[in-house]
Structure 1
Amino acid sequence: MFYEVKNGHGLPHDPFKAIVAPRPIGWISSMGKDGSVNLAPYSYFNAIANRPPMVIFSSDGMKDSVSNIAETGEFVANLATWDLRFAMNQTSAPLPRGVDEFVHAGLEKAPSQIVKPPRVAAAPAALECKVLEIVNPTTLAGTKSTNFMVIGEVVAVHIDDAYLTDGMFDMTKARTIARCGYMDYAVVDSLFSITRPTA
């Protein structure tokens, strides 16, 4: 099949998210100026640079995460894993502003070292980030998108040593999860390697 997005796809559900998948989950913890803490998962998330390391996540609307980050300029991207899947899902609930998702999901907080927002204590890895930009893109039609893209520079990294194998972070031991289309997720249980060709 073929369809132009403006004309619709005619399918029972939009295939876009299933095609662009699996996507890493940015499990973002943030803190407002008033000290309120928020924790929410974002499936539009990825690393975008490595020198220095940078990540991006996109929110459909000015949700608590983005408004907190706009106020304080800091956040933490916590690694979502198989063992934490149900707690991660609980933090996606549309709770009133000011309700602490850590408490709602029964998650322990751990202090960050450089930024103020706490991290998920049970997460095998977490990235402390400072904001570089918050972008509200303009569409081809010239209107503003409903999305807000947050670009952060990673200033510190936490890794639980239990998930290091021969000096490398072991995704199969952590059982990292990723968002797919519809209500589906993937879990990293196995890896394969391919050596890049030389010129």
Structure 2
Amino acid sequence: MFFEPRKDNHGLPYNPFKACVVPRPIGWITTLSHAGLVNLAPFSISNQLAYDPPFVFFSGSGAIDGEGSEPRRKDSVVNAEDTGEFVYNMATYELRNEVNLSSKHVPPDVDELEMCGLTPASCNLVKCPRVLESPINLECKHHSTLTLPSNSPKGVHHVVIGEVVGIHINEEALTEGKVDWVKIQPLARMGYMDYTHITKVFTMAGPKGEEFRPGQIGEHKDSKHWNRVEEEWDKFKNGK
């Protein structure tokens, strides 16, 4: 099938686009308003942008209240821009219910951490709190906000970009000095109402000369594609 998103002519019960870019990490964002109010919200359009220095982003959709009015920004966007800070907390399978509850639309004066039974923890370089129960927290300084148009005449997308200036990693999330994704099981959004979490990983070295071997975990040698991959590697190695 083929369809054009602006024409919305896919002919399916649900728009499949979000299901085509998966899995999407969930940015669980804490911010602090100028009045000192804590906000916590999950964003399924979020990710790492760069690593030296590290940048992350989250994207929040806003609505336009009326004719000629400015787009209404989500509290997380407003707070990040106004204070210049936010924290990107890792959402995990263990915290899935809290992540889901924190997506509830509530008045700005409601503390979502308290509402979800979560523990606020102090940060080192920013004033807004991090989620103590989350195994990894990224302290961020607001860099810029990119505004993207929406197909809806009353919508707009705000892409908030932040530089990661401090990183907290729970010692229990480490195995032999490396972040253990299977242990912490990061939560990710799929399409529709579906989610996933990491329960399995594999290692594959990049093509760096003779040291490269496609699919370096024994499990991959049981794959029906293994022989073909080995053949292609032999051709590459022999210059054919």
Above 0.5 in TM-score? yes
Alignment RMSD, CA only? Answer: 1.5
Q: Percent of aligned positions with the same letter in both sequences?
A: 46
Gaps of 5+ in 2: 63-72, 210-240
3-state SS of paired residue (2:58): strand
Classify the secondary structure of the residue corresponding to 1:162.
helix
Which residue pairs with 2:114 in the alignment?
Answer: 103
Post-superposition offset of 1:137: 2.5
Native 8 Å contact 1:133 1:152 kept in 2: yes
Name the CA distance, whole Å, in 2 between partners of 1:4 and 1:160.
Answer: 44
1:183 corresponds in structure 2 to 193
Separation in 1, partners of 2:154, 2:128? 29
Q: Is the 8 A contact 2:29 2:86 kept in 1?
A: yes
Deviation (angstroms), 1:6: 2.2
1:92 and 2:103 equivalent? Answer: yes
CA offset at residue 79 of structure 1? 0.5
Is residue 4 from structure 1 mapped to residue 14 from structure 2 by the alignment? no
Runs of 5+ consecutive residues of structure 1 not aligned to the other structure: none
* TM-score of the two chains, using structure 1 as the length reference: 0.95
Query: How do 1:40-119 and structure 2 match up within 5 A?
Result: 40-61=41-62, 62-119=73-130
2:149/2:156 contact within 8 Å kept? no
One-letter identity of the residue aligned with 2:100 = N
Q: Distance in 2 between matches of 1:145 and 1:164?
A: 41
Query: How big is the shift at 1:138?
Result: 4.8
Which structure exhibits the higher relative contact order, with contacts defined as CA atoms closer than 8 Å and separated by 6 or more residues? 1
- Spell out, residue by residue over 1:140-159, the C-alpha distance to the aligned partner (whole angstroms, 9 max, x if none): x9x89600000000000000
TM-score, normalization by structure 2: 0.79
Q: Following the alignment from structure 2 to structure 1, what is the Cα–Cα distance between the partners of residues 193 and 154?
A: 28
8 Å CA contact 1:137–1:144 kept in 2: the answer is no
* Greater gyration radius: 2
Cα contact 1:136–1:145 (8 A) shared by 2? no
Aligned length: 197
